[in-house]
Amino acid sequence: MASAIKLWGGRFSGKTDPLMDRFNESINFDKRLYEADLLGSQAYAKALSQRNIITTEEKDILVNGLEDVLKEWREGTFIIKEGDEDIHTANERRLGELIGSVAGKLHTGRSRNDQVATDFRLWAREETKKLLVYLKELIGVAVERAKKEIDVIMPGYTHLQRAQPIRWSHWLLTYAWSWKEDAERLTQIIDRLNVLPLGSGALAGNPFNIDREFLAKELGFKGVIHNSLLGVSDRDFVAEILFWSSVTMIHISRFSEDLILYSTSEFGFVTLADAYSTGSSLMPQKKNPDSLELLRGKSGRVFGQLSGFLMTYKGLPSTYNKDLQEDKEPIFDAADTLSGSLQITSGVLSTLTIYPERMRQGLSPDMLATDLAEYLVRKGVPFRETHHIAGAAVRLAEERNTTISNLTLGDFKQLHQAFEEDINLIWDYEKSIENRCSLGGTSKQTVQEQIVKLTKWLGEN
């Protein structure tokens, strides 16, 4: 394409290398910003007419013309043409074709630098709001299951070794709490990014005393960015969204990892619905948890987008640099990944079958060794001693090739005089669970309290 017909072609006499044209253009991905771009331009046309830079008539022609361009995008009839370097160029080119030379007044005092920064924030605000809805749905699914399956108990693990009995619902709510924090974090990010760059010009500000407060109100921003240099160059919100995406994916990935383990024949605690599993092309018996493996795998990809963007962002000199065009694909990719992942996680969790009997079979009396130590504590023996005594009981049982619950009162008395007949009562998993009734513990009441809190939060948010 001859440089003379480029938006910025005036000062150039030579042609750009066609390869450079393709290297430079972003339309293939930034066309996603079409709506934000057109809404931003409509608001800007109104602001220009307020300052009498254009007439009311011209403003109306611009606003209506932009509406027609929007309709074309929505109906899929917008045709991208050679020379449409990016979404801003494409929309302005099409506007000119539809309404003629008035289109050339729209960009007065504006630069693609403040335009793209505005479009991107508008788009990010709306996109992340959708993710917030999916996230809340997921929390709702976890809370519902926890409520329904509150009586199911299972082994809890540390170091992947059987540790203590816990409620299945308690395990589930771990993730519900993390996702709640993710939702809160995202809400804060949305609030922070919701400030207006438009009116910053290329870098130095707008020469027509444009009413930026008006523009902010028109576009739903809570305020303006108070420094034009920052307005065109600040992409902290991109870093924040990518970091948020990464942390949310960590929670999804760890959740998936747990369920992948629990779905193995060795555990047998859960099976995935057919809707979220696939078979093997070779082994007919296989049912693979592909959904969970993809969730775990896709987390890596999101972290990659975060670190890639940070590399691009660091060390940029003040204000706009073309490097910043590289801010979009990471977020587009992360947003698509999060959108899919959140919905699939909800699907997997809401359709999962659990096997309470298998979970119970995973419990063994040695998991009550801590309860044994606590029994002695209640009899007045210092914990450091009781820990040692309970350890000796575990060893004795192992030597006899039996479980600690099979040791006799006599055996226990040999270990410490404080043991009495009621030692028999501690070999009860439910009781062990119910003992953990301090706030945040796995007892029924404390799990119910968690459910109440999370349900209340869901209702208010």
Q: What letter represents residue 14's amino acid?
A: G
**Least distance CB 51 / ligand ARG (angstroms):** 24
**Least distance CB 235 / ligand ARG (angstroms):** 10
111/128 with CB nearer ligand ARG: 111
DSSP secondary structure code for residue 426 in this structure? G
DSSP secondary structure code for residue 150 in this structure? T
Quick count: other Cβ atoms within 10 Å of Cβ 278?
14
26/178 with CB nearer ligand ARG: 26
10/410 with CB nearer ligand ARG: 10
Question: Reduced to 3 states, what is the DSSP secondary structure of residue 108?
Answer: coil
Dihedrals φ, ψ of 229, to 5°?
A: -65, -40
Place of tokens 């606003």: 63
Q: How far apart are CA 229 and CA 227, in angstroms?
A: 6
**Least distance CB 323 / ligand ARG (angstroms):** 9
DSSP string, 220-240: T-SEE-S-HHHHHH--HHHHH
182/327 with CB nearer ligand ARG: 327
**Least distance CB 42 / ligand ARG (angstroms):** 19
Cβ-based neighbours of 71, under 8 Å, separated by 6 or more? none
Cα radius of gyration rounded to whole Å, the chain:
31
Task: Classify 106 in phi/psi space as left (phi over 0), alpha (psi -120 to 50) or beta.
Answer: alpha
Using the CB atoms, write b or e for 152-166: b if 16+ within 10 Å: bbbbbeeeeeeebbb
54/324 with CB nearer ligand ARG: 324
**Least distance CB 46 / ligand ARG (angstroms):** 22
Catalytic residues: 159, 280
Q: What letter represents residue 204's amino acid?
A: A
Contact positions vs ligand ARG (CB under 6 A): 26, 30, 86, 112-113, 116, 320, 322, 324-325
In DSSP terms, which residues pair with 276 in a beta bridge?
none
Q: How far apart are the first and last CA of the chain?
A: 52
Q: How far apart are CA 245 and CA 132, in angstroms?
A: 11
**Least distance CB 320 / ligand ARG (angstroms):** 6
242/433 with CB nearer ligand ARG: 242
Q: How far apart are CA 115 and CA 107, in angstroms?
A: 9
308/347 with CB nearer ligand ARG: 308
Q: How far apart are CA 127 and CA 125, in angstroms?
A: 6
DSSP string, 124-144: HHHHHHHHHHHHHHHHHHHHH
**Least distance CB 354 / ligand ARG (angstroms):** 48
